[in-house]
Amino acid sequence: MQIFILKNKNKITLINGILIAIGFLSKWIIGNEKVFAWSLIIASILGVMPIAIQAYQALRVKVISVDVLVTLAVAGAFIIKNYEEAAIVTFLFLFGAYLEQRTLNKTRSAIKELTEMAPESALKQMENREFEEVDVDEVDVGDILLVKTGAKVPVDGTVLSGEGSINEASITGESLPVEKEKDSDVYAGTILDNGTIQIVADRVGEDTTFGKIIELVEEAQDSKSEAERFIDKFSKYYTPAVLILALVVGLFTQKAELAITILVLGCPGALVIGVPVSNVAGIGNGARNGILLKGSEVISDFSSLDTIVFDKTGTLTVGNPSVAEKQYYGDNIDEALGYLASVERESDHPLAKAVLEEIGETAFSPVENTEVIKGGGIVADVNGHRIAVGNVALMEKENVKPDEKARADIARFEKSGNSLVLTSVDGELKIMMGVRDQIRTGVKEDLQKLKKLKVKNLVMLSGDNQGTVDAVSRELGLTEAHGNMLPEDKSAYIKKLIDQGQIVAFVGDGVNDSPSLALANIGIAMGSGTDVAIETSDVVLMNSDFSRLPHALGLTKATARNMRQNIIIAVGVVLVLLSGLLFSEWVNMSVGMLVHEASILAVILNGMRLLRYKLR
């Protein structure tokens, strides 16, 4: 029966509220006192059942919780036949618990999502040197595996033969595929975009980088679940104090009604509803502004953070490489652009797509004698001209000699973090394009707003190379920036900051970010990121709108202040009422009830102010 009642606590809350509404409407509209009284009696009995069960469970482990006080207060209200207070107190208490439960419940589905993304099978070389598909659990260190185009790499390993480009977004978070050749390292869970490779297994199962991501998420979520609510801590002292006060007054005065009145007036109705109403109003404001805040603990930590750590790709940057800068040399540029587009149209390299998007509509020509230069680019014949498309090394191999201006442009493009795409026609440099993942519009201004909100440190961590990371950091004015970081490196860095006593928020969007999102005091996910990142986070910026982050921080600071104000109002009113009841003549049951309900209305109205909050 206890399990059934607690399982249906939310339904009981709804029925409780409906009965209270029926009672008051019957009294105000048709003046029916019997329906009024019985509606409130039934509402009180229904409402107190889950509270009384929780009080009993708390007493069994020698804890005097708020549930104990509320149960006694409702019983006292029944004894003096104040059914309105009994019904309203139970509804407010249950509704506050519902709001807390709704906003604070953390789903564990992130672990399931991560597990489903892990590779399940592998092509393993058997004794007859043929490759057979086996369960990934059957792969041991030292086994030779075959990975084909479009397949997931099953384990962490080293390339023995073959070439290809691998999408490592699930590990590093970077959007550009990485070229792999003999002796290159590969990671479980990454995807071979093109090519075929043979690898030797170096780490398998839970020892792989992907396996460590799952383990880190589990550990981080467990470490955060131990946080206690302020109200629970406060009730350890407040509840026994009210109980003892009521008992002592009852014994000394021999007035049972006075003791019950103390219990009723001491019942923390405003305290119970004050924090949740601030919390829900803050969450409501956030939702209307594209910010999902997952509970009051999030608001408390978020409002006092001093360090924000950002992933780069998809967070500070757009996450989609495009041509950021370009420079043309000599004449007949339109013709050269047509040649470049014709060559890139036949390439599956990720930079080719960015170049084609930049060129747009153009005239294509037949491409002949195409030669892919390993680590350099492509050389081909187009309309009788020798066209070379690639990096600086390819230009040197083709004996293309950039003039002083072009060399300066190359240095400038590289300093800005660009991947270079150079095009020569018959040995003469014609086109230089710089491709990079561009910074989100308005991010620099948003970071300045965060500094004005007293965030001391703005740090960027990325799996990208240090040169690109430094270029982005300089442009945005960050405090620190670190590149070449795997997921375990990021989470280790987060842990180091937390161990130093800093309150840290991490902002990211990928599977690789989920350990850091879970480990940080506050994990902030971009809404277009993976489900895993969103589930493991504490805050979600919907539609990946980075400009919502300053509003989110300002909102949580305002909400935290509002919660403190409501606690002061609630506790202050109770202290004034109890003092007036014991030491003066002006407080009686009627006056006490009026002030008591007024305090509940006051904290609700104060909390509702947050719905209109705007960042100044």
Active site residues: 311
| Nearest of 293, 279, 292 to residue 95 by alpha carbon | 279
Q: Where do runs of H (alpha helix) occur along 254-403?
A: 256-266, 269-288, 296-303, 333-344, 350-359, 392-397
The DSSP output letter for 206 is: G
Q: Are strands 307-311 and 457-461 parallel, antiparallel or unpaired?
A: parallel
User: Among residues 7, 3, 4, 77, which one has the least CA distance to residue 45?
Assistant: 77
Residue 333 · residue 433 · CB < 8 Å: no
CA distance 143 to 162: 17
Give the Cα separation of 132 and 92 in Å (integer).
Answer: 63
**Angle, in degrees to the nearest 10, between helices 230-253 and 256-266:** 170
Residue 192, class by beta-carbon neighbours within 10 Å (0-12 exposed, 13-18 middle, 19+ buried)? buried
Q: Is 289 helix (H, G, I), strand (E, B) or coil?
A: coil
Tokens 């930049």: give the residue: 358
**Contact between 208 and 118 (Cβ < 8 Å):** no
Number of residues in the chain? 616
- Across the beta sheet with 377-382, what order do the strands follow? 322-328, 428-436, 419-425, 385-390, 377-382, 367-373
Which residue is associated with the tokens 């965060």? 450
Give me the helices (H) in 419-547, please: 443-452, 466-476, 487-499, 514-519, 531-536
Residues 6+ apart with CB under 8 A from 366: 342, 382, 383
Task: State the greatest distance between any 2 C-alpha atoms of the chain, in Å, as a whole number.
Answer: 112
